[in-house]
Structure 1
Amino acid sequence: MNALNLLEAPAALAVVAFVIVRQVCGEPLRGRRLVVLPMVLAVVGLTGLDMGGHLPTAGTACLVIGA
């Protein structure tokens, strides 16, 4: 396993947990948060998909569904 993968998994889980906690708490929506977090996650996802010139089907499907 790559050391970067060992760091990415906990970071992704932390982001997901953060979003779930924020939604459960019921905080009011802010325009900046509606745009910034999805953009950051999309960039992270797209950079993770660049694996030697081929795109994994599951990763591509998740990005398309999320969009």
Structure 2
Amino acid sequence: MAAIDLSDYTLGELKGLLFDVEQAIKARRRQELQGAQARIAEIARDAGIPIDALLDRAKGRRTS
């Protein structure tokens, strides 16, 4: 990744940039979580396993 020269930015601009970056990170995490959930749900459907059974196992509960 190329370095960005921030030396000409004012303190206010840098704080605004930081806020924008934090918001972008949160949005990306939500997107990745949703994508992972969709992939897991698809795998479970393909295997004929109800999602609830996977969640119960993850919580330490046993299902038949």
TM-score, structure 2 as length reference: 0.40
Answer with 1 or 2: which has the greater Rg: 2
Higher share of residues assigned helix: 1
TM-score, structure 1 as length reference: 0.39
